[in-house]
Amino acid sequence: MFSVRIQTGPISLATAQDQAHDRCGAEVRFVGKVRNDARGAALECLVLEHFPGVTESEIERIVGLARQRWSLQKAGVVHRVGRIHVGEDIVVVETASAHRRDAYEANVFIMDYLKTEAPFWKQECFADGRAHWVEARASDQRAAQRWRAEGQPGAGPVSASAHGRRIGALILAGGEGSRMGYLNKGLQPLHGRPLAQHVADGLRPHVDFLAISANRDLAAYESLGATVIADDPAFGVRGPLAGILSALGRFPPDLDAIMVAPCDAPLLPADLVPRLAAALFVPDGPPAVVAATAGHTHYSIFMCRPGMLISLIPRMREPSDFSLRGWLRACGCATLQFDDEQAFANVNDLPALQALRV
């Protein structure tokens, strides 16, 4: 009675509907269609892309949120991907409850969140041959924010841990190490352990999955007890964004957040992950939270929702700013202040490493 399905073929409304429970007093079905609302050339079709596993998991989370708010006997989502022509169905959302208000409100809630949280990206293709990727609309964001502002009746702020959030972590170690004479920076020793091991040991108690983005000495990184992921050659030399996007398909599909940190920050504070999670999982929370201190915003140290990473795909396909800073700013990240500047020390050259060894 609670289902999520993504498919490339046309949606059959006859098969989309599951049998409702005998106690259901109301059933609501929303059918979204591709429409031609272009002001210039006629729209020919939409092309929708997604990340298998990640997208389904996020939609299941949205359905779960609806079930927490309303008493539902059924909630189902069928969503198309691929090439979808004008007039064809793109999504079907069905809800059922003993009470019509619950069925109606849950349906609207799921659809509002699908348009803002589910990791799809959409390209409009026009009859004159033009095509462009569609940005999120401010009106859709406002619709979702309404539900976040209302929250659950009688509920106050809840910590991230109270919801049992599942967090994955990615340590960035795929650079060339040019400022260290092209040494493999993450494997340089500090007090008897590689730099990357210091970072991994600090993150591991707070995360459910740990991976390292690396392009050299993969066996050495694997010995640190983490999944090691090399950059996909299709992305070329695009820096840390290529490492993050290459890792996306390797993360478990049920993660609520992804923590990213560089291999050359061995002194990170013990409360880094809990504090970033608490700032991320609030009503009307941002898509990502970046660590900051009085003197610096540390764009390589952040936590985000998995769906935000989907925005990297069109960014990597076109000439763009491939810096973490540019991408995170474009996504509307927030910052979280930490007091200890030294805890975020970046060991990116041999003198800095030697200073910590003293």
pLDDT at 163: 47
68 confidence band (pLDDT: 50, 70, 90)? confident
Q: Render pLDDT for 92-117 as a digit per residue (tens, 0 to 9).
A: 999 999 888 899 999 999 998 888 78
pTM score, whole prediction:
0.62
pLDDT at 154: 33
3-state per-residue secondary structure call for the chain: CEEEEEECCCCCHHHHCCCCCCCCCEEEEEEEECCCCCCCCCEEEEEEEECCCHHHHHHHHHHHHHHHHCCCCEEEEEEECEEEECCCEEEEEEEEECCHHHHHHHHHHHHHHHHHCCCEEEEEEECCCCEEECCCCHHHHHHHHHHHHHCCCCCCCCCCHHHCCCEEEEEEECCCCHHHCCCCHHHCEECCEEHHHHHHHHHHHHCCEEEEEECCCHHHHHCCCCEEECCCHHHCCCCHHHHHHHHHCCCCCCCCEEEEEECCCCCCCCCHHHHHHHHHCCCCCCCEEEEEECCEEEEEEEEECHHHHHHHHHHHHCCCCCCHHHHHHHCCCEEEECCCHHHHCCCCCHHHHHHHHC
Indicate whether 234 pLDDT > 90: no
The mean pLDDT value of the chain amounts to: 84
pLDDT at 149: 57
Higher pLDDT, 234 or 327: 327
> In the predicted model, what is the mean pLDDT of residues 232-248?
81
Q: Render pLDDT for 126-185 as a digit per residue (tens, 0 to 9).
A: 888 888 877 766 666 666 666 765 654 333 333 444 346 889 999 999 887 777 777 899
Domain ranges within the chain, ordered by starting residue: 2-150, 161-357
pLDDT at 156: 38
Matching fold, domains 2-150 and 161-357: no
Q: Render pLDDT for 255-309 as a digit per residue (tens, 0 to 9).
A: 889 999 999 999 999 899 999 999 998 877 889 999 999 979 999 999 998 888 8
pLDDT at 187: 93
pLDDT at 82: 94
Higher pLDDT, 320 or 74: 74
> In the predicted model, what is the mean pLDDT of residues 79-97?
94
Q: What is the CATH number of domain 2-150?
A: 3.90.1170.40
Q: Domain 161-357 adopts which CATH fold?
A: Spore Coat Polysaccharide Biosynthesis Protein SpsA; Chain A (3.90.550)
